[in-house]
Every structure is written in structure tokens, then in C-alpha cells.
Amino acid sequence: MSTPNLFKPFKLGRDLQLQHRVVMAPMSRFRADDNHVPADYSVQYYGERSRVPGTLLITEATEIADESGGFPNAAGIYTEEQQNAWAKIVAAVHENNSFIFSQQFAEGRIANPGQLAKTGHVVVSAGSIPLTGLPEPHMLTIPELNKYKEYFVAAAKAAISIGFDGVELHYANGYLMNQFLEKVSNNRTDKYGGSPENHLRFPLEVIDAVSEAIGEDRLAVRISPWDDFQEMSRGAENDTYKYFIETLAERHPKLAYLHVIESRVLGGRDRDLDPEKEMNNDEFLALWSPRPYISTGGHTRESGIKVAEKHDNVLVAYARQFLANPDLPTRFKKNLALNKYDRNTFYGGGKNGYITYPFATEATESLAN
């Protein structure tokens, strides 16, 4: 019986030779300290999940600047102390002959006002539309947008300087860059709002600047067209996303990959539907193909095998399964039972539920076995 594509090698980005197409999806875990420095034991967390050689890992969402944040204990990459902590994590992953991208973001209107106030900052957004129950955000001015662009460039350059294999810009799940893309969060009347072209302008400017700084083949982008998490449009603005992908393919055809969340996942919860029959990403995939494309959101072993078999340019990212199974690629290939994840330990806390999930006794460290 032939080996499914999901377990076959794949070349990605700047000559990264993956040994399989099972990717660790980005997952916020909130284990950093009060200065947004990743915990010492995060080295073990990422190291364990890179033990199968040739695995691609994408980090938790990482703040690009003090004022871009607003989540307690979210990791940052804008201070020397934070960068030194990440360098240890990167070294652990590379020691296992695996690869790691830094996912980077700004929170925008979903940030915690009280947390930002501690450092003299306020909640900002693409527009002035607040989330339900929260104060109206400050609409970023043109000079402030230029400053944020500089933050993204600096964070990306820092990531590459400490050894990351690439950077994934987080344009999904209702965070700041996602807020520019959609009318539900962007009510600007200048060149960054109104028409679909204007909604794309700042997100594309950031991609242009980061690409120039670190190289197109070290850069990736993540989007969530179907999401209603944090009061986004739930698929109502998919024409804008199609235009975004078309434009991205024209301007940056050598991006490492495009990462698209499936419709079956809404933020942290699942939606009961069959993406093969409704609300699927087929049009987005077609627009981006034959370039590398990561599909994520509610995949099982079976659905991952199926989509990778159908599309030779598709990798499949897993979050909860990888969280609970550090040897997930081997478990999938050998069809071994999975550890059950514990939602109570997803966010915050310490080592429990973070570096306490066991490896399968039957598993080996290499898919070659």
C-alpha cells in the first residue's frame, strides 16, 4: 500500500525540506511571564513537538510591540529578554532537525483596556467600531499606521536574526490586521477603508515591508474568511478575501505559504457542518494553487489524509491534537490512539497540561521507521 501524501516530504519556503505534511498549528497558551517572556519550560513544549524530524511548527501568536498587546501572559518578541527566550526554543527545534515559524500579531480592538493602561496605552483598531460591551477603540492615524508597520518589520527581522525559519503574519481571528480587511470592524473613510481595494491596502503594505525586510520565501500569511470569532463577518465578506488572495498571488508569488482556517472552526469552538458540501475553502485554494497552502481547523487524521491526497500543494495543521500528542505525526502514520486533550489547561497555568502529555510507547521519533 502506497504512503499517503500527508506522510510524504514537502519542500517549503527557503529550502526547508519537511519530512511530512502534518503541521503544528499556532496556539495561544499564555504561559509567558508578566513581561511577556516565554517560560523556560516552553523550550520543552516546542522541543517535544519537534521530535519527529522534519516537522513544521508555528508558534503561538506573538506580540510585536508593547502597545500592540493587551493579553496578560501572551508572549512577545520585541525585547531582548523575549528574543533570548525564543532563541532557546528555536535551538531546541533545530536540534531535532525540525523547523519553526514565528506567528506575529497585534490585537487591535479586542485588547484588554486595563492591561494596556498599565503601560500607558489605549485600545486601537482599523476603525472606531467597538466590540460589544467594550469602549470605542482609537482609530489609528496615518502616522500611527506607519509606526505599526515598523513594529511588524522589526519583529520579523528579530525573529530571523535569532534563527526562526520564517514569519507568519496573523491576519485572522478578529485581530488588528483582520480588522482592516472587514467592514464590520473598518469604518474608515480614507484610503484604508471603504472599497475592497482600500480595505486591503494596509495589510498589503505590511506584507510588502516585511517581505522586503526578510525575504518573500520566509514570509507567510494566515486568514480566517468564515470566522465570526470576536464579531467578524462569518463569510459575509468573502469577495474581499478572494481579491486579497488574488492580489497576494500577483505581488508575492513566492510566499512560503498561505494558511487558511476552515469553516468548521469558529475561534475556539467547532461548527457542525461538512466543508465538502457547504462553506468550503475551495475557491481560496484554487486562487492560491499551486503554491504551498496550509489548511487548518477541525481536521482529523482521515480528513487530513484526504485533503493532502486530493491537493499535492496542501499541508494540514493541527492544534488540539498536537497540543495533547507531542508525537502526533508518528501517531497518525502508525494510526495509534491519541491522548485526550484537557480544555481546562489550554490557557494559562503552569506545566500541567503543557508539558505533561505522554508520548506513545509504540511511537518512534522518525516517520522513516
**Any idea which residues carry the catalytic annotation?**
175
Q: Are 195 and 189 contacting, i.e. CB atoms less than 8 angstroms apart?
A: no
Q: Helix or strand or coil: residue 261?
A: strand
Q: Are 150 and 164 contacting, i.e. CB atoms less than 8 angstroms apart?
A: no
Distances (CA, A) of 35 to 61, 76, 331: 15, 8, 36
Q: Left if phi > 0, otherwise alpha if psi is -120 to 50, otherwise beta: which for 163?
A: left
Residues near 18 by beta carbon (within 8 Å), at least 6 away in sequence: 9, 10, 11, 12, 54, 55, 56, 99, 315
Q: Look at residues 267, 311, 229 and name the one whose alpha carbon lies nearest to residue 6.
A: 311
Q: Look at residues 207, 196, 209, 206 and name the one whose alpha carbon lies nearest to residue 253.
A: 207
Task: Name the one residue in this structure whose C-alpha cell is 467592514.
Answer: 183
